Structure formats: C-alpha cells, structure tokens
Amino acid sequence: MGTKRELKKWLKQYLLDRPAVTREVAPVHRWELDYPSDMRSAQFSESGRVVQGWVLLNTEHAEWQQKLTIVAAWEPAYELCHPLEIERADVIERVLGASDEDHLQRYCGFRFTVPPSLTRFTLWLACEDQRWLLQVVEINPPEALQAPETLKVLEGKAGWLFLNNDTNASVDQYRGRLRLTPRGLSGWQRYLSAFYALAEKQKAASAVLVAPSKESVMGPGYHPYAEGAGGPIQQLLALPEAQVLVYPVQALMALGDDAFIQTDTHWTQRGAMAASKVLAAALGLDERAVENTFVDDEYGELSLTGDLGSKLKPERTCRISSLHTFNYHQYRCFDNGLPNFGRLVVLANGKALMPGTCLIFGSSSSYSMFNYVSRLFKRVVFVHSAGNLDPEVVKAVQPEFLVAQTNARFVVQVPSASCSLQALIAEKKACLSEEEVMMVAKRRIGVETHNPVISSLGLSPWVVT
C-alpha cells in the first residue's frame, strides 16, 4: 500500500469483508496514541515497535469498556486484537478530573508491539461485532529502517526456548491476540475446497496435515505466557471445511517432553513418528500394520543446537533422541537440494508397506517425517511449498495419496491451490548465495532425464528445470 489511492482501496475492501463494521459515530469521549507519535521518540521493546495509548468512552457507553479491543491491521488475512487491560490512573485524573480508584474506565490503556519494519497500519476500536476506525498510522520509512533488531527467541521455563518476533507473530497467535480476518477465513475455505476437489479428481486418499506449534504442545508447561483462545489455528479448525483436517496435537501431547526439541521450533523424530501415524490413519492405512512398521526402531542420544539455540550468544544446545536404526537417505533417488521453497525430493522404497505413491506438498516439518513415510509408501514425492499446490505436478504424478502439510504458525498465510513448482525452482535458483550454491551441490542427487522412476512419476519437466 504505497499510495493514498491504494490505502483507500484497501480500506474499502476491508469494510466490504466486514459487513458488521458500523458507520455510526464511535462511542469515544476521547482517545490518544502515545506511541508511535510525531510528538515523541519511537519506542521499541524486545518484541518490536511499541503501540501504546488509551481510550475513554462516552458516559452512556462506559459499561462497554471491558468488552473493547484495539485492532491493528496491516495484512488482509489477519489482524492483532488487544484488550484494554492497562490501568491508566493518569488518564482518569487528567482527562476526567476523577480519582481512578474503582473508576469504571480505569483500565483504559493498551500496549502491544507490531513489526518494527512497518510503515503503515490501521487502528480500530472494536466491541464484539462492531468496530470504528480510529487512525491510519503512518511511519517514516527511514525510521522504520533504523528500528533495532529484535530478539528472535523467547526464554521459557526450565531452559525451553520458543520463537519470538517472527513474521507470523507466533507469540500473539499463541496468546489468541492475532486472528484471521473474514478474508483470511474465506481464503482457507476456498483452499480446502480446491484441495479436496483436486484429490477427488485424482481419486486419491487425501489429508491436510497441520503440524501443531511448539507453543500449543509445550506451552502449558514451559511458555512464559498463558495460551489464549480464538487464535488462527482454532479459527481454522472451526471451519466446516476443516472437519477432516489432520491436527495431531493430542498425539504429540501424549509424548510429553519428547514431542519437541528444547532448542528448536520443530518436533522431535518421535514427534514426527507420532504425526506420521495419525496421518497414515487419516489416509486409510491399517493402524496395526503402521505400528508394526516402526516397532523395532531404536533411538540414541545426540547433542543439538537447533534453530532457536543458534540465535543465542553463547549458543544453547540440548540432548535429543535420534533414530539410528533407519535412515531415509538410502532411498533418495532424486533431490534438487534447494533450500526451503522449491525443493523437490523423490524417495523410492520397494519394501514399503503400501505399493502406491504419496505426493506431499509440505514444509520444514515434513523432513523429519521422511524416515517414517518412506517406509509406509513405495514412492514419496515431496515438494517444499508449505501446502501450496501445483495441480500440474498432481496431474503428472497421479498419486494414490495426496497430502498438503503446513505448520500451525503459517496458518495466517493462506496457501494457494494453483502455484507453480517450476516458478518456485526458478525463483530460488536466481537468488542463491555462493554458500547456498555449494550447499545445493553437496546434497543434490541428480538423475538422467529418462530415469525409470522419474519417468514413471512424470517428473522429468521439474527434474531438468
């Protein structure tokens, strides 16, 4: 939204997406935004740019105070919703000339953070299904660029680390203070409908697997904040289209501390096995046969830094249980080696439980599942796309099993049902650093264009890309 015309267009669409937005005069006696403000220096915390202020209602609406929230919006699919929960004695005394003791509106303040790089966001006052526009906040781009770097790790109890200040606002999601908008929810409805239509067209057993966040599983015991209600994952699970969505939170909770890695955002290998079992059941596999497939697995202890531990100085490590009686690497017949989006991996195991092909459009949580799904399906085709679907790949592979896998914290980014793997590969290759080029070359497993496995799966166009 770089121009006023674009801003007006966005606001108009926002109102159309929210038919409950009232056009009546706001019931506000007076309100003020302390930060950000042209009158004061910008304030930042470890979590981002501070947004702080207060709202006083007209006398006849004073009883609404406990139901009010301040909504900050800058993306069409989600928004922040924070209650008026801070006591502001200074406001009651200065503005109303009254004592704050037992005053009906003494908790009239709000304080939260938004990404420090934001240059524009909109503040609304909301009361249940009604809301009123308070202000479009604009920040000088130079000021936004000079914002201090924020810590990406949140220290929990007993040395457990959690993600903080990520682009998906994981902490606000966990606390129930970041929510999908009607546009975000309708986007998920369209995506789920398109996914199941695509699976039905291919006559494939199908499932959308959402990896629960570390916060949702380990949070009750170790997170510094309490879990809130009504966050994006709860909103998604409540949709009619999500009735067959696979969300293995109970299976992970049953593992206790073995579900997630203490210094990483991802589940452990035992957690990946638990998720694989739940997924297999959703795809119609015999549960006892699946259980027997992994019954002889043995694990040993290793030291791991993890994607969270590596962000601290000095780095933090933990001990993990690592599967040492099986490794899927022996079944890789192709791997383009690209980092994250655009990676294509093909696994082939003639001794697998099921004779068919499982096509997975997944995310980083899928990798630790390879040790298990490669023993369940004769062929596994993995596309790193975080659930974004390429219908052309589906048409070419013609899988017996179709899976879309994303992570709960990615729910605020509605996946597409019509992405292009070729475009993802080209885009990734175009921006590889020298270090990444070396990494890709090291882990790439190439094949001849007419490799029988690749040809039978119809993947030649993507293998030679």
Residues 126-174: tens digit of each pLDDT:
988 899 999 999 988 766 566 667 778 999 999 999 999 888 899 999 9
Same domain membership, residue 78 and residue 190: no
Within 8 A by CB and 6+ apart from 29, the residues are 56, 57, 58, 59
Same domain membership, residue 254 and residue 185: yes
Residue 312 maps to a domain: yes
303-360 pLDDT per residue, tens: 999 999 999 999 999 999 999 999 999 999 999 999 999 999 999 999 999 999 999 9
- The CATH number of the domain holding residue 128 is 2.60.40.10
Beta strand 178-180 pairing with 377-384 = unpaired
Q: Measure the N-to-C terminal CA separation of the chain; round to a whole number of Å.
A: 34
Using 50 as the pLDDT threshold, list the residues of the chain that sit under it: 1-2, 10, 16, 19
Same domain membership, residue 233 and residue 119: no
Q: Is 299 helix (H, G, I), strand (E, B) or coil?
A: strand
Q: Is 167 helix (H, G, I), strand (E, B) or coil?
A: coil
Which pLDDT value is given to residue 244? 83
Boundary (domain end) residue, out of 101, 118, 150: 150
Which pLDDT value is given to residue 117? 84
Residue/partner pairs of 87-95 with CB below 8 Å, 24 or more apart: 88/54, 91/54, 91/56, 95/30, 95/56
Same domain membership, residue 379 and residue 235: yes
Same domain membership, residue 146 and residue 179: no
Which pLDDT value is given to residue 14? 52
* CA–CA gap between residue 342 and residue 81 (Å, rounded): 34
Same domain membership, residue 304 and residue 237: yes
Residue 300 maps to a domain: yes
pTM of the model: 0.91
Which pLDDT value is given to residue 5? 59
Count how many domains the chain has. Answer: 2
The whole domain housing 137 covers 4-150
Are the CB atoms for 92 and 99 separated by under 8 Å? Answer: yes
Which pLDDT value is given to residue 446? 86
Same domain membership, residue 248 and residue 134: no
Q: What is the CA radius of gyration of the chain?
A: 25
Residue 161 maps to a domain: no
Which pLDDT value is given to residue 18? 53
Residue 162 maps to a domain: no
Residue 454 maps to a domain: yes
Boundary (domain end) residue, out of 150, 180, 203: 150
Same domain membership, residue 185 and residue 100: no
Same domain membership, residue 85 and residue 134: yes
Residue 246 maps to a domain: yes
Same domain membership, residue 223 and residue 319: yes
Which pLDDT value is given to residue 345? 97
Beta strand 344-348 pairing with 318-323 = unpaired
Residue 386 maps to a domain: yes
Same domain membership, residue 388 and residue 268: yes
Residue 157 maps to a domain: no
Boundary (domain end) residue, out of 117, 150, 183: 150
Amino acid code (one letter) for 327: N
Same domain membership, residue 121 and residue 190: no
Which pLDDT value is given to residue 411? 96
